[in-house]
C-alpha cells in the first residue's frame, strides 16, 4: 500500500511538510491503511525516504487523470452554460481542503485549539503559495472556521486565483446583518464567491492544554500521554474535545451544509484546522479510529478531492504553479485551465 510518511514529533508539524505535496501524512506500519483512493493509488511514486516524490506523483496524477472523466466548468460566460449543465448532470464537483498556514502559536509550539491567533509571516506566505496551487481550479463556495487563521488563509489564497472573483463573507448572525449585506446586482453576484465562516469547523477545543507549550507538556505528563491527547480518536485532553467530539460537530456540518453543495455540482474550498480536517478526512476516506491516529496534515497545503455520485475520490494536492501540466487532474479541469489561458491571450 502506497501510504506515506511520517512520524510527527511534538511541535514539528512542518518537518517534511514541503516534501510531501499531498499535505497529508501517514506513518507506515500501522496496520492496513486505506488512505489513498484507488484513482490516486495506481502509480503514486515513493521516494527513498518513504515519502511521496512530488514530481513522480504529479506525473502519476496526470496519467491517471486521462482515463477519468469529470468535473466542472464555471467560466461564467453564456457560451459555457453547456458545461454547467453537464456538471450538474454528472454530479461531479471539486472539493479543496486547506489547513491554515502557520500561526503565531504553531511557531511558538503552543496548544492552540479554539484560541483565535493570526498567521505568522511564514503562514501568510504559505497561504499565498496554496492559492497559487489552486488558482486554476474553479471555486463556487468557500467555507472556513470562525477563527482568523483559517479565514486569513482562505482570503490570502483567493488573492492568487486567476478568475479574480471576490470572496464575500456571508453575515447571518442577525436578520439585520443579513439584510444589510445584500448585493443588488445579479452580475456582481456572479463575480462573487460566498464565503461562510462557521464555528463548527473550528479546531478541536484543547481544554486545559490551550496556551501550554507542547514540549513542556510532554516533559511533564509523558510523551505517550500527550500523544494520546493529541492523536487518539476518543480520549479528550483535560476538559477539552476528543477527535470524536470534534467530528460530531465538524462532520455533521460537512454533511448538512457542504455535501449538498457538492452534490449540486458546486466546487467548494474549506480552510480549517489540523483536527477538524482530520475528522472530515476520516469521513471522506473512511478511515478507522486506529488509522486516523497517524494522519497528520501540513499547514498551508491544499488537498483536492473529486466528489462524484456521493463518493469522494482523493486526487492529492495540486502542485506548484511552476510545474507544467499539473492541472490535468481531470479532463474538465484541464479544459477549464485552457479556457482561462484563452481569456488572457
Ligand atoms: O494546537 C493545536 O490546536 C493543534 C494544531 O496546531 O495541535 P495538535 O497538532 O497538537 O493537534
- Ligand 1: distance of its center to the CA of 113 in Å? 6
Q: Which residue has the cell 483512493?
A: 37
- Cross-strand bridge partners of residue 307: 93, 312
Q: Given this model, what pLDDT does residue 190 score?
A: 96
Name the nearest CA neighbour of 200 among 141, 127, 131, 273. Answer: 273
Q: How high is the ipTM of this complex?
A: 0.97
- The lowest-confidence range among 60-64, 90-94, 121-125, 157-161 is 60-64
**Mean per-residue pLDDT for 241-260?**
98
Find the catalytic residue in 25, 92, 100, 296. 100
Examine the residue annotation and report whether 203 is marked as an active-site residue of this protein: yes
Is residue 302 in contact with ligand 1, taking CB distance under 6 Å? Answer: no
Grid coordinates of 59: 506525473
Interhelix angle 148-158/121-133, rounded to 10 degrees, is 50
Q: Is 312 helix (H, G, I), strand (E, B) or coil?
A: strand
Written as one string, the DSSP assignment of 228-242 is: HHHH-SS-PPTTS--
For 155, 182, 189, 195, the CA distances from 177, given in Å and listed in that order, are 21, 9, 17, 15
Q: Given this model, what pLDDT does residue 35 score?
A: 30
Model confidence band, residue 234 (pLDDT cutoffs 50, 70, 90): very high
- The lowest-confidence range among 50-59, 86-95, 294-303, 313-322 is 50-59
17, 107, 203, 231, best to mutate for ligand 1 pocket (most atoms within 8 Å of CB):
203
What are 116-148's pLDDT values in tens digits? 999 999 999 999 999 999 999 999 999 999 999
Model confidence band, residue 260 (pLDDT cutoffs 50, 70, 90): very high
What are 11-35's pLDDT values in tens digits? 222 222 222 334 444 332 232 222 3
Q: Given this model, what pLDDT does residue 22 score?
A: 43
- Ligand 1: distance of its center to the CA of 275 in Å? 7
Answer whether CATH 3.40.50.1240 is correct for domain 24-344: yes
CA of 113, closest atom in ligand 1? 3
Model confidence band, residue 73 (pLDDT cutoffs 50, 70, 90): very low
Q: Given this model, what pLDDT does residue 67 score?
A: 29
Report the distance separating Cα 298 and Cα 302, nearest Å: 9
Beta-strand runs (E) in 170-228: 192-197
- Ligand 1: distance of its center to the CA of 246 in Å? 13
Model confidence band, residue 202 (pLDDT cutoffs 50, 70, 90): very high
Examine the residue annotation and report whether 18 is marked as an active-site residue of this protein: no
What is the phi/psi pair of residue 159, to 5°? -65, -20
Q: Is 112 annotated as a binding residue?
A: yes
Q: Is 180 annotated as a binding residue?
A: no
**Mean per-residue pLDDT for 184-189?**
98
Q: Cβ contacts of residue 174 below 8 Å, gap of 6+?
A: none
CA of 214, closest atom in ligand 1? 10
Report the distance separating Cα 326 and Cα 314, nearest Å: 15
Report the distance separating Cα 100 and Cα 271, nearest Å: 6
Query: For all residues of the chain together, what is the average pLDDT?
Result: 76
Is residue 242 in contact with ligand 1, taking CB distance under 6 Å? Answer: no
Grid coordinates of 219: 516533559
Is residue 230 predicted with pLDDT exceeding 80?
yes
Report the distance separating Cα 22 and Cα 305, nearest Å: 11
What are 262-284's pLDDT values in tens digits? 999 999 999 999 999 999 999 99
**Stronger pLDDT, 341 or 83, i.e. the higher one:** 341
- Ligand 1: distance of its center to the CA of 290 in Å? 19
Model confidence band, residue 314 (pLDDT cutoffs 50, 70, 90): confident
Q: Given this model, what pLDDT does residue 298 score?
A: 87
A 10 A CB-CB count for 232 gives 17
Per the CB < 8 A criterion, the answer to whether 230 and 194 are in contact is: no
What is the phi/psi pair of residue 19, to 5°? -80, -40
CA of 274, closest atom in ligand 1? 5
101, 102, 117, 206, best to mutate for ligand 1 pocket (most atoms within 8 Å of CB):
206
Q: Is 99 annotated as a binding residue?
A: yes
275, 276, 299, best to mutate for ligand 1 pocket (most atoms within 8 Å of CB):
275
- The lowest-confidence range among 31-45, 84-98, 315-329 is 31-45
Is residue 77 predicted with pLDDT exceeding 50?
no
- Ligand 1: distance of its center to the CA of 55 in Å? 29
Report the distance separating Cα 322 and Cα 277, nearest Å: 27
Report the distance separating Cα 263 and Cα 93, nearest Å: 7
211 conformational bin, left if phi > 0, alpha if psi -120 to 50, beta if neither: left
116 conformational bin, left if phi > 0, alpha if psi -120 to 50, beta if neither: beta
Is residue 230 in contact with ligand 1, taking CB distance under 6 Å? Answer: yes
pTM over 0.80: no
Query: DSSP letter at 239?
Result: T
Is residue 311 predicted with pLDDT exceeding 50?
yes
Q: Cβ contacts of residue 50 below 8 Å, gap of 6+?
A: 4, 5, 6, 28
Name the nearest CA neighbour of 344 among 193, 190, 163, 78. Answer: 163
- Residue count of the chain: 345
Grid coordinates of 181: 449585506
What's the alpha-carbon Rg for the chain, to the nearest Å? 20
**Stronger pLDDT, 98 or 89, i.e. the higher one:** 98
Amino acid at each position: 500500500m502506497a501510504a506515506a510518511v511520517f512520524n510527527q514529533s511534538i511541535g514539528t508539524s512542518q518537518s517534511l511538510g514541503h516534501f510531501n505535496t499531498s499535505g497529508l501524512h501517514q506513518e507506515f506500519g500501522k496496520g492496513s491503511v486505506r488512505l489513498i483512493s484507488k484513482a490516486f493509488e495506481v502509480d503514486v511514486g515513493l521516494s527513498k525516504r518513504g515519502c511521496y516524490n512530488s514530481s513522480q506523483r504529479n506525473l502519476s496524477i496526470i496519467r491517471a487523470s486521462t482515463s477519468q472523466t469529470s468535473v466542472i466548468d464555471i467560466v461564467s460566460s453564456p457560451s459555457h452554460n453547456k458545461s454547467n449543465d453537464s456538471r450538474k448532470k454528472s454530479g461531479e464537483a471539486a472539493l479543496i481542503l486547506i489547513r491554515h498556514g502557520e500561526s503565531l502559536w504553531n511557531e511558538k509550539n503552543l496548544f492552540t485549539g479554539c484560541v483565535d491567533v493570526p498567521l505568522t509571516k511564514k503562514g501568510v506566505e504559505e497561504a499565498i503559495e496554496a492559492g497559487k496551487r489552486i488558482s486554476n481550479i474553479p471555486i463556487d463556495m468557500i467555507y472556513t472556521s470562525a477563527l482568523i487563521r483559517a479565514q486569513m488563509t482562505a482570503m490570502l489564497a483567493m488573492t492568487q486565483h486567476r478568475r479574480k472573483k471576490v470572496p464575500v463573507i456571508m453575515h447571518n448572525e442577525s436578520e439585520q446583518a443579513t439584510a444589510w449585506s445584500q448585493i443588488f446586482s445579479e452580475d456582481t453576484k456572479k463575480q462573487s464567491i460566498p464565503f461562510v465562516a462557521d464555528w463548527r469547523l473550528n479546531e478541536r477545543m484543547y481544554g486545559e492544554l490551550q496556551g501550554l507549550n507542547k514540549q513542556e507538556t510532554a516533559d511533564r505528563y509523558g510523551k505517550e500521554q500527550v500523544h494520546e491527547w493529541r492523536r487518539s480518536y476518543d480520549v479528550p485532553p483535560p476538559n477539552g474535545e476528543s477527535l470524536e467530539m470534534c467530528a460530531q460537530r465538524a462532520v455533521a456540518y460537512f454533511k448538512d451544509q457542504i455535501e449538498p453543495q457538492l452534490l449540486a455540482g458546486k466546487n467548494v474550498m474549506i480552510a480549517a484546522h489540523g483536527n477538524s480536517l482530520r475528522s472530515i478526512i476520516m469521513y471522506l476516506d473512511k478511515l478507522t479510529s486506529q488509522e486516523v491516529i497517524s494522519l497528520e496534515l501540513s499547514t498551508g497545503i491544499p488537498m483536492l478531492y473529486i466528489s462524484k455520485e456521493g463518493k469522494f475520490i482523493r486526487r492529492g494536492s495540486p502542485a506548484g504553479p511552476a510545474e507544467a501540466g499539473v492541472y490535468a487532474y481531470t479532463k474538465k479541469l484541464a479544459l477549464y485551465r485552457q479556457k482561462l489561458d484563452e481569456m488572457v491571450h
